[in-house]
């Protein structure tokens, strides 16, 4: 198999992603076994400048329109979901952090095309004590996707004063994202999971680590945002949601295409006819195609709408809610398509040598992410009904 890829300057980001697909296919099983990306894949991502897709142009990044970013992540996930997950996670984390940092600090951290940024989910058990010139950070975080391949890691935490009281800034409790060298963290190799194994999403700890003010952005606080482009107006939560939805769409597309290829050439043990001649299979494939295509079109329509509104200064809660619904709906529709394709493949699907088993595990793991949870749909329902939304994850 020819795994060479074209050089980055001659192709758009989605085209570069598609050019990477043969290499990702070749290394998929090994990345699953190693529970991390292979060195060849990491080198190819850096060579194709896939870790600065959303980074501000002022820092040497591409600052892609959100729709182009979604198509890029989807194309990568079509070949390997773990790589797509890492690309989305690192890009959104780096870009939104850089946009809220002093320019010189952001340039020093993210100027190199190969650094990346990984961090785990926020929780309430960490401590960030406000001190002169910065913070003292302590805590343990999990799910640092891609952290084995990044120079930088980070963590989210509420900020306390030295006396233990909540630190206030901008008229509310201060909550920040702290960026530090990977070498400053104690990392535990504990990523033993069902799917998305290649992300190497380990647990890590820091104790009383000093973080200077410049490396502690409040990513989504408007008064601290230094970049004004549409991407940074949309802010982190919906950027993550759009990218992770694109991962599941690319994964489901690959599962459906593999099911179609199987049906074209396989005879079921329960029938004398080829699968392709079975009316039920014909109907199922058409309906799965409709569901997946509809979810993708819905996502892209709302992504375009939100991005344009952000560019025009008209982005409002209604638009954010519609994108939130499209991302959650899309992840769940994609999951259903992946499950249907796996089940339709029969016993072929359970073989490690077949193309279904690893991708089914990836699909099931992606479906468990917070961005796919039905609580988001309920939130949108409350908004449509005019019922109070105390917690808006937008």
Please check whether residues 308 and 203 belong to one and the same domain.
no
Report how far residue 243's alpha carbon sits from residue 146's, in angstroms, rounded to the nearest whole number. Answer: 15
**Which CATH number fits the domain that encloses residue 58?**
1.10.540.10
CB atoms within 10 A of CB 132: 5
Interacting residues of 42 by C-beta distance below 8 A, sequence separation 6+: 149
For 333-345, what is each residue's pLDDT tens digit?
A: 999 999 999 999 9
Residue 295 located in a structural domain: yes
Please check whether residues 202 and 268 belong to one and the same domain.
no
Whole domain around residue 304: which residue ranges? 235-385
Query: What pLDDT is stored for residue 222 in this prediction?
Result: 86
Look at the chain and report how many structural domains it folds into: 3
Tell me the average pLDDT across 159-180. Answer: 94
Residue 185 located in a structural domain: yes
Interacting residues of 227 by C-beta distance below 8 A, sequence separation 6+: 56, 58, 98, 99
> Per mean pLDDT, which range of 8-12, 20-24, 30-34, 136-140 is the poorest?
8-12
For tokens 């004590």, the residue is 129
Backbone angles phi, psi at 150, to 5 degrees: -110, 150
Say if residues 310 and 230 touch (Cβ distance below 8 Å): yes
Q: Which of 110, 125, 160 is at the close of a domain?
A: 110
What is residue 386's DSSP assignment?
T
Query: What pLDDT is stored for residue 268 in this prediction?
Result: 58
Confidence of residue 61 (pLDDT cuts 50, 70, 90): very high
For residue 352, what are its two tokens? Answer: 């490690």
For 233-268, what is each residue's pLDDT tens digit?
A: 999 999 999 999 999 999 999 999 999 999 998 665
Please check whether residues 124 and 257 belong to one and the same domain.
no
Mean model confidence pLDDT for the chain: 94
Report how far residue 106's alpha carbon sits from residue 104's, in angstroms, rounded to the nearest whole number. Answer: 6
Report how far residue 282's alpha carbon sits from residue 303's, in angstroms, rounded to the nearest whole number. Answer: 32
pLDDT greater at residue 267 or residue 278: 278
Please check whether residues 176 and 216 belong to one and the same domain.
yes
For 190-229, what is each residue's pLDDT tens digit?
A: 999 999 999 999 999 999 999 999 999 999 888 889 999 9
Q: Which of 196, 221, 246 is at the close of a domain?
A: 221
Please check whether residues 250 and 380 belong to one and the same domain.
yes
| Angle at 26 (CA atoms; ends 21, 351), nearest 5 degrees | 110
Please check whether residues 76 and 173 belong to one and the same domain.
no
Residue 276 located in a structural domain: yes
Confidence of residue 10 (pLDDT cuts 50, 70, 90): confident
Residue 379 located in a structural domain: yes
Query: What pLDDT is stored for residue 9 in this prediction?
Result: 56
Say if residues 8 and 49 touch (Cβ distance below 8 Å): yes
| Angle at 74 (CA atoms; ends 68, 76), nearest 5 degrees | 105
């Amino acid at each position: 198999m020819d795994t060479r890829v074209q050089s980055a300057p001659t192709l758009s980001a989605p085209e570069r992603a598609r050019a990477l697909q043969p290499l990702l296919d070749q290394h998929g099983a090994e990345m699953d076994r190693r529970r991390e990306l292979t060195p060849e894949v990491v080198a190819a991502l850096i060579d194709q400048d896939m870790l600065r897709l959303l980074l501000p142009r002022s820092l040497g990044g591409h600052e892609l329109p959100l729709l182009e970013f979604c198509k890029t992540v989807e194309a990568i996930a079509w070949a390997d979901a773990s790589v797509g997950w890492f690309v989305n996670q690192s890009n959104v984390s780096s870009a939104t952090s850089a946009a809220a940092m002093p320019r010189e600090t952001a340039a020093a951290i993210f100027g190199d095309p190969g650094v990346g940024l990984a961090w785990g989910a926020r929780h309430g058990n960490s401590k960030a004590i406000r001190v002169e010139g910065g913070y003292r950070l302590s805590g343990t975080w999990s799910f640092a996707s891609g952290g084995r391949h990044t120079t930088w890691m980070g963590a989210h935490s509420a900020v306390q004063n030295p006396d233990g009281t909540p630190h206030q800034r901008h008229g509310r409790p201060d909550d920040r994202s702290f960026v530090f060298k990977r070498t400053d963290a104690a990392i535990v190799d504990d990523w033993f999971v069902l799917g998305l194994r290649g992300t190497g999403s380990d647990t890590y700890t820091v104790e009383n680590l000093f973080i200077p003010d410049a490396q502690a952005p409040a990513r989504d606080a408007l008064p601290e945002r230094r970049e004004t482009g549409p991407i940074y107006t949309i802010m982190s939560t919906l950027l993550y949601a759009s990218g992770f939805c694109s991962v599941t769409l690319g994964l489901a597309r690959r599962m459906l295409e593999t099911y179609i290829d199987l049906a074209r050439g396989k005879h079921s043990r329960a029938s004398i006819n080829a699968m392709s001649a079975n009316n039920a299979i014909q109907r199922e494939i058409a309906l799965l195609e409709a569901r997946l295509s509809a979810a993708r079109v819905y996502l892209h329509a709302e992504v375009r709408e939100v991005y344009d509104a952000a560019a025009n200064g008209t982005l409002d809660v209604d638009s954010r809610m519609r994108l939130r619904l499209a991302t959650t709906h899309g992840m769940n529709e994609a999951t259903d398509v992946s499950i249907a394709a796996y089940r339709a493949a029969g016993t072929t699907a359970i073989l490690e040598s077949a193309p279904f088993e690893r991708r089914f595990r990836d699909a099931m793991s992606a479906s468990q992410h917070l961005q796919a949870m039905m609580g988001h749909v309920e939130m949108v329902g409350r908004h449509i009904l005019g019922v109070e939304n105390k917690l808006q994850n937008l």
